[in-house]
Amino acid sequence: MSAPEVRDITFDRPDYTAGAFIVFTGQTSEVAPPAEFWAKKAFAAAIVGDVEAVPGTARTVINLTASPGYTFFGTDLVVMLYGKIGLFASRYNTTAPPSYPRTSLCAATAEVKLNSVTIDMVRVDSQQPYFHKPFKTPLTLFPGDNLRVEAISELGTAPVKVAVLGYWTFG
Amino acid sequence: MATGRLDELIAKANVIEFRDGKLFRLVSFRERKVYEILYDESGQVRQIIEKSM
């Protein structure tokens, strides 16, 4: 594979609940960006959400339906408690480490659903408040497909933050 | 109408931000625009505010 063109996209506004710092310098992971990305028929996207998860009731964190004409390729899933998300991924050269100042004791589970089918469950707690998973195969949302992430707390009120990193392709 | 407009904005967004399960903010770095979505009491989209970055 020839070296891809360097393409910088930085999401670093301090007022965002979640910010992604992404610098595309080439493929280094198992998940290949789609050919459309290198052909510049795609662009990076971060789908982020946060919610105060409570015991006994699943609360929606992300509820996104892919727009007509656009396909989303998710390459990474990040779930964390507390703080701000400074997204990173193994394939990206990044500048922002995640920060998660620990406050109260809590634990929560995030459930990732594609068209109402659970495809992933992630648990985070006060001791392990950060989870990052590079997908081995991209999480693909074709036009009309729905991505929903729900969170439920096991212990206390849990500030759950979720991010799905990836690309939109179009045309 | 708002749904169509939102679909269009979502497809152009680099950051799609949800808060409490609702679409809250869209950021397009290519356009250097931030869109904030406001809802009415029934949960329907009331307004989309466009800001320059």
Average pLDDT of adjacent 10-residue blocks, chain A of 171 residues: 35 36 41 59 80 94 92 84 50 44 77 96 86 82 95 89 83 63
The tokens for A107 are: 């634990």
Search chain B and give the residue with CA nearest A60. B21
DSSP state of A82: S
Q: What is the pLDDT of residues B17-26, one digit of tens each?
A: 898 899 999 9
The tokens for B30 are: 């290519």
Please name the residue that has the structure tokens 């931000």. Answer: B17
Domain at A7-170: CATH architecture: Sandwich (2.60)
Name which of A47, A63, A69 is nearest B11 (Cβ-Cβ): A69
pLDDT at res. A97: 46
Please state the pTM of the whole predicted model. 0.78
Chain-chain contact of B15 with A51 (C-beta, under 8 angstroms): no
What are the percentages of helix, strand and coil residues in chain A, rounded to 5?
0, 60, 40
DSSP state of A33: P
Residues of A in contact with B16 (CB under 8 A): 45-48, 64
What gap in Å lies between CA A118 and CA A134, rounded to an integer? 17
Residues of A in contact with B11 (CB under 8 A): 67, 69-70, 168, 170
Search chain B and give the residue with CA nearest A68. B7
Chain-chain contact of B7 with A48 (C-beta, under 8 angstroms): no
pLDDT at res. A37: 59
ipTM of the complex: 0.89
Residues of A in contact with B25 (CB under 8 A): 16
A49 class by beta-carbon count within 10 Å (0-12 exposed, 13-18 middle, 19+ buried): buried
The residue type found at A144 is: G
Domain residue ranges in chain A: 7-170
What gap in Å lies between CA A156 and CA A10, rounded to an integer? 34
Quote the Cα angle for A100-A105-A106, to 5°. Answer: 85
pLDDT at res. A168: 84
- Nearest in space to B35 (alpha carbons), one of A144, B44, B7, A37: B7
